[in-house]
Structure formats: C-alpha cells, structure tokens
Amino acid sequence: MKLRDVLKLVRLRKFERSPTQRLLNRVVLADDFRTIARRRLPRAVFDYVDGGADEEITMRANREAFASRRLHPRLLRDVSVVDLHGEIFGQEFRKPIGLSPTGYTRMMHPTGEISACRAAMDAGVPYTLSTVATTTIEEVAATGHPNLWFQLYITGDHRLSDPLVDRAAAAGYKALEVTIDTAVTGRRSRDARNGLAIPPQLSVRTIFDIARHPRYWMRMLTNPAIEFANFQALTPEELASASTTVNSALFDPTLNWAHITEVRARWKGPLLLKGPIGPEDARRALELGVDGFHVSNHGGRQLDRCVPTADLIMPLRAAVGPGVPIVVDSGVHTGGDIAVALALGADMAFIGRAYVYALAAAGERGVAHLLRMLTAELRSVMQLSGLTSLSQFRKEGADLLSGP
Ligand SMILES: Cc1cc2nc3c(=O)[nH]c(=O)nc-3n(C[C@H](O)[C@H](O)[C@H](O)COP(=O)(O)O)c2cc1C
C-alpha cells in the first residue's frame, strides 16, 4: 500500500467544540462515567457513591450475578423492528428502565435531582425521588415529569415522614415505595475510613482533597447549601434538630409490618416495597394491600452478604404470579443486565450508581447519554437474541437463560 492509499483510509473527525460533547463522545460504556466521576469528585464524595457495606461482598456479587447469566439466542427471526414500550401501574414507559432513589444527589452535581429527573422525563422513564433528597418534592414535580415515584423512609418520629406521603400525593407522584432494608444503617467501610459525615467535617486530608478538586468546590460554593430539602417545612425547633433527628430516625430498628399497614392507609396510589424481598415477605405484603415490589439490596450498601438481586427475581415472580409489578436494581449497568433482569421475570430494571456517575461527569446531558446508551445496548441484545418486544421476555423467560 502506498502512503496515498493509507491517507485515503484516514478520515479526520471534525473537531468538537463543546467540551461536554467531547467528553460524551468518549463514553461508550456506563463504567466510563465511573472513571470520569472518580477523577472529578473528591475522594470522600466518590467513595460515598461507589462504596458498599463492610467488605463489599454483596456489591460485587450483584454485578457477578447478572454477568454470570448467559443468553440463548433464537435465530432467523425478523428483528428489524424492536418495541421497548411497556406499562407499569397504568403509566406508559418508553423503555424498561427507571432511576432509583439516591440521597444527597446535589453533593455529586449542583443541579442533582432536577437534572436526573429531566433526563428521565426526556427518555420516557420513571424517576424516583429519595426521602433524603437535596431538592424538594414540589420542585421536582415542577419539572412536569408525568411519572414520578417517591421513596419513603418511615422515620421513627412519624411527624417527619407522614407529611412527605401527603406532599407526594398532592404533588401528583404516581407511586410510593417504602424502603424496608434500613432497620439499621449499613456499615459503609469507605465512609468510615474517609471520615465522611453529613454535614461534612473538615480534616487535614479533606483540605488537601479540596485543593486537588478546585472546580468541584467552586461549583459547590456557588450553589445553594446541600440540605435535607424535604424536611425544611418543619417548625424552627424541629428544624434545628432535623439533621440529627433525621439521621437517627431514618434508621428505625422498630420498623415492622404495622408500619406498612399505616402507610397503606395513608397513600391511596400504587405502593411498592423496596428491599431484598423473598416469597414469604411478598405474600404477606400482598395481603396488606401492597401493589408491587422494587427488588433491591441497596446496591450492597446495607446487609453485606445479602443475596444478589438477580437471584431473587425468579422465586419472587413464581410466588406473586404474572400480574404483580416487579422492578429490580443493584448491579444493573448494561443493556445485557437489563435483558437478564427481564428474562428472570422483572418488568423493569432500575439503576442507581450508574446514573449518579453520569450526573457527576456531565449533569443532565450525562444522564441522558447514559439512558440512550443503555437503550441502544438493550435493543442490540434483544435483536441478537431474536426478541422484538418486552412481552417475549416473559413468554420465553427461563428458556432464554442459563447460568447459576
Ligand atoms: C449515593 C446513593 C444514595 C442512595 N440513597 C438511597 C436513598 O436515599 N433511599 C433508598 O431507598 N436507596 C438509596 N440508594 C440505593 C439505590 O436506590 C439503589 O437501590 C442502588 O443504588 C442500586 O444499586 P446500583 O447502585 O448497583 O445500581 C442509594 C444509592 C446510592 C449509590
């Protein structure tokens, strides 16, 4: 080959002017966002997102459990048109993906919850706001997202959590999910090592870290303070102790079934339980009027050695039957993971850390890019497996899979 022939093969890409777009052009897998977030965030903040409980056994097992499943493709089917639409609790979604609740989201990006919510709205997927969000229930509702979910921690002092249920109803949230794997707080080893506390405490190491991430700190200092936004409607006295009250009351060791009965009476819309739910607990929940399940082990942030969520889906589906909505999270970070979750019997897969990294890397555009990427991955996995609609996952179910 002559030099002239080689040059013909080389086509220089047009220079991209927007730095954000340049960054997004380099992101081809969700984990690329993690690498960027790791560079951009102070160590303690990155570790708060990235870390799990104790030895992080469950956190790793979550991903392995999805990765260890293998798909058995069906061939020679026309896969030119793929339909990713579906419906949950009477609301349509454009792809079977949702955003899980994450607390303190503005610590990772100043426009935190609003940006994540807008990206979800544009993609036509549900967004779940956390009890310990740094943006209020009403501000998030003002985005106009038609399918918002609210995540509830039932606080020991019901004066804190009851009004949140009423506010979510008044603001038009479509579903309420009660997190039930937090009777006590998980022991996050990285946070303990980093001395992470909320509000943050300044140690010599933190000050060095600030010096290494001036852009992060400038952004934080020029934006409103990070606080438990949804508890700001309390009286001044309650407010004064809110930080400690919320922190200690969030993890109420007396949490039990009677609490679920109370929430069921208060919230008229679809009610889910969020946790590592097994068949027996699920049957009891259905008797109490619970409508669906968000299978989750908090991304390995609560009980270390908890069973990975991929292993929970099939027995749960068998116990509750085909009509009860099941969504799953913890370890989902590719379209292949989503396909496995659906083949195991889930209706949708939700993501946690993956979108928080995308947010930290590039705000709303980052989350939008991630959702497009996951959708493209899922579509490709489906086409290569001979599947063209979500209902086929349920029909062919376990026949599509092998693995542990
Ligand atoms: C930074 C962070 C904050 C979280 N905050 C909450 C929360 O406030 N309420 C809750 O129910 N789950 C919370 N979770 C758990 C997520 O909702 C979700 O279950 C978990 O992230 C899923 O695992 P994955 O990160 O592997 O996708 C949080 C997770 C992360 C990473």
The pLDDT tens digits for 275-308 are 999 999 999 999 999 999 999 999 999 999 999 9
Single-letter amino acid code for the residue at 367:
V
Q: Which of 62, 52, 53 is nearest to 311 (CA)?
A: 62
Is there an atom of ligand 1 within 6 Å of 332 CB? yes
* pTM of the predicted model as reported, rounded to 2 decimal places: 0.95
- CB distance 77 to 388 below 8 Å: yes
Single-letter amino acid code for the residue at 26:
R
Q: Which of 117, 119, 136, 118 is nearest to 128 (CA)?
A: 117
Q: What's the confidence (pLDDT) of residue 5?
A: 82
CATH 3.20.20.70 fits 19-402, yes or no: yes
pLDDT above 90 (res 8): no
Is there an atom of ligand 1 within 6 Å of 230 CB? no
Q: Longest Cα pair distance anywhere in the chain, in angstroms?
A: 80
Domain segments of the chain: what residues? 19-402
CA distance 166 to 337: 35
CA distance 201 to 227: 15
Question: Could you tell me the pLDDT band of residue 247, with boundaries at 50, 70 and 90?
Answer: low
Cα 330 to ligand 1 centre (Å): 8
Single-letter amino acid code for the residue at 378:
L
Cα 389 to ligand 1 centre (Å): 29
* Closest ligand 1 atom to 353 CA: 25
Decide: residue 260, CB within 10 A, 0-12 exposed, 13-18 middle, 19+ buried: buried
Is there an atom of ligand 1 within 6 Å of 132 CB? yes
Cα 81 to ligand 1 centre (Å): 34
Q: Which of 141, 301, 297, 298 is nearest to 230 (CA)?
A: 141
pLDDT above 90 (res 238): no
CA distance 298 to 100: 10
Q: Which residue has the tokens 């303190």?
A: 104
Is there an atom of ligand 1 within 6 Å of 353 CB? yes
Is there an atom of ligand 1 within 6 Å of 130 CB? yes
Q: Is the peptide bond before 214 cis (omega within 30 degrees of 0)?
A: no
CA distance 4 to 20: 35
* Closest ligand 1 atom to 100 CA: 17
Over the chain, what is the mean pLDDT? 93
Question: Could you tell me the pLDDT band of residue 10, with boundaries at 50, 70 and 90?
Answer: confident
Question: Could you tell me the pLDDT band of residue 158, with boundaries at 50, 70 and 90?
Answer: confident
Question: Could you tell me the pLDDT band of residue 261, with boundaries at 50, 70 and 90?
Answer: very high
Of the two residues 286 and 404, the one the predictor is more confident about is 286
pLDDT above 90 (res 228): no
Cα 317 to ligand 1 centre (Å): 23
Q: What's the confidence (pLDDT) of residue 3?
A: 83
Is there an atom of ligand 1 within 6 Å of 386 CB? no
**Ligand 1 binding pocket mutation candidate from 301, 309, 327, 356 (most atoms within 8 A of CB):** 301
Q: What's the confidence (pLDDT) of residue 198?
A: 56
Q: What's the confidence (pLDDT) of residue 2?
A: 86
Q: Report the share of the chain in percent with pLDDT over 70.
A: 94
pLDDT above 70 (res 234): no
pLDDT above 80 (res 90): yes
* pLDDT mean over 377-386: 98
Helix, strand, or coil (residue 370):
helix
Cα 103 to ligand 1 centre (Å): 7
pLDDT above 70 (res 390): yes
Catalytic residues: 298
Question: Could you tell me the pLDDT band of residue 180, with boundaries at 50, 70 and 90?
Answer: very high
pLDDT digits (tens, 9 = 90+) for 185-196: 999 999 988 887
Is there an atom of ligand 1 within 6 Å of 124 CB? no
pLDDT above 90 (res 66): yes
> What are the beta bridge partners of residue 99?
127, 351
Q: Report the share of the chain in percent with pLDDT over 90.
A: 79
Q: What's the confidence (pLDDT) of residue 159?
A: 84
pLDDT above 90 (res 203): no
* pLDDT mean over 57-70: 98
* Closest ligand 1 atom to 130 CA: 8
Q: What's the confidence (pLDDT) of residue 6?
A: 79
pLDDT above 60 (res 244): no
- CB distance 346 to 327 below 8 Å: yes
Question: Could you tell me the pLDDT band of residue 248, with boundaries at 50, 70 and 90?
Answer: low
pLDDT digits (tens, 9 = 90+) for 359-368: 999 999 999 9
pLDDT digits (tens, 9 = 90+) for 92-108: 999 999 999 999 999 99
Q: What's the confidence (pLDDT) of residue 237?
A: 63
> What are the beta bridge partners of residue 293?
273, 326
> What is the distance in angstroms between the CA of the first residue and the CA of the last residue of the chain?
51
Cα angle, residue 334 at apex, residues 143 and 215 outer, rounded to 5° = 55
pLDDT above 90 (res 334): yes
Cα 144 to ligand 1 centre (Å): 23
* pLDDT mean over 307-323: 98
**Ligand 1 binding pocket mutation candidate from 46, 102, 140, 251 (most atoms within 8 A of CB):** 102
Is there an atom of ligand 1 within 6 Å of 103 CB? yes
pLDDT above 70 (res 35): yes
* pLDDT mean over 362-385: 98
